[in-house]
Chain A
Amino acid sequence: AQKITQTQPGMFVQEKEAVTLDCTYDTSDPSYGLFWYKQPSSGEMIFLIYQGSYDQQNATEGRYSLNFQKARKSANLVISASQLGDSAMYFCAMRAPSEYGNKLVFGAGTILRVKS
């Protein structure tokens, strides 16, 4: 079974609109972390947001928020007020130490294009 699943290969959003990028995960580790990274066309990996499995509140970082639904094993990234500079590949990743060690396990990514 896929450990991290991102079902949307590509998404379009109108500038200034909000967009949700989907991510589901699979682990039996009760203590895990979920991460989102942005990869612009220049190739670097930029950390956006983190959600711990025991966190009571959904994580937020500026225009980024994480819609964490633990029972559904989903950790969707919400970008509010999209900007042209948000056009990039977005990766969801998980760290589940007791099951997968300390490495990050990545999904296949979603390409986001913001239209003006």
Chain B
Amino acid sequence: EPEVTQTPSHQVTQMGQEVILRCVPISNHLYFYWYRQILGQKVEFLVSFYNNEISEKSEIFDDQFSVERPDGSNFTLKIRSTKLEDSAMYFCASSLAGAVKTQYFGPGTRLLVL
């Protein structure tokens, strides 16, 4: 069964460093998403991506964040200068289409900023 994959599973970084989180969405999916979950809290939307551009973003997704689909399979989230409060689980998700279609999540990347 096709699934969303994410690398790395865990990342530890120093405050101020750049990190890139990688995702490979399900191959025939068209919409891609990043969510994050701070420990013990609810899952929060960051950004959605369709047709090689951002379709929606939340207020969390500020200028420190960027997304890219550098080739036909990968989808990346870059945090330019990490802050302590960026420590969270980051989930990539993908769906076939935008309107009320199921989003399938990857296993997550646990990011710890020291």
B and A form one assembly = yes
Q: Chain A interface (Cβ within 8 Å of chain B)? A: 31-33, 35, 37, 42-47, 50, 52-53, 91, 93, 95, 97, 101-109
Asked whether B42 lies within 8 Å of A108 as measured between CB atoms, the reply is yes
Give residues 84-114 of B contacting A (CB, 8 Å). Answer: 89, 91, 93, 98-108, 110
Q: Please name all residues of chain A whose beta carbon is closer than 8 Å to the beta carbon of B91 when the two chains form the complex.
A: 45
Task: Compute how far the CA of A105 lies from the CA of B42 in the bound complex, rounded to whole angstroms.
Answer: 9
B43 lies within 8 A of A91 (CB): yes
Does B100 lie within 8 Å of A52, measured CB to CB? yes
Q: Is the CB of B100 within 8 A of A106?
A: no
Count A-B pairs with CB separation below 8 Å: 67
**Contacting pair B42 A91 (CB below 8 A):** yes
Q: How far is the CA of A46 from the CA of B4 in the complex (A)?
A: 11
Closest Cβ–Cβ distance, residue B20 to chain A (whole Å): 20
28 A–B contacts from the bound complex (CB under 8 Å) = A32-B100, A37-B105, A43-B108, A44-B105, A45-B43, A45-B93, A45-B108, A47-B103, A52-B100, A91-B42, A91-B43, A95-B100, A95-B103, A97-B98, A97-B100, A101-B48, A102-B31, A102-B98, A103-B48, A104-B35, A104-B43, A104-B103, A105-B45, A106-B42, A106-B43, A108-B41, A108-B42, A109-B42
The minimal Cβ–Cβ distance linking A75 to chain B, given in whole angstroms, is: 13
B33 at the A interface (CB under 8 A): yes
Q: How far is the CA of A109 from the CA of B55 in the complex (A)?
A: 27
Which of chain B's residues has its CB closest to A42's CB?
Answer: B107
Q: Write the chain A residue with the least CB distance to B56.
A: A101
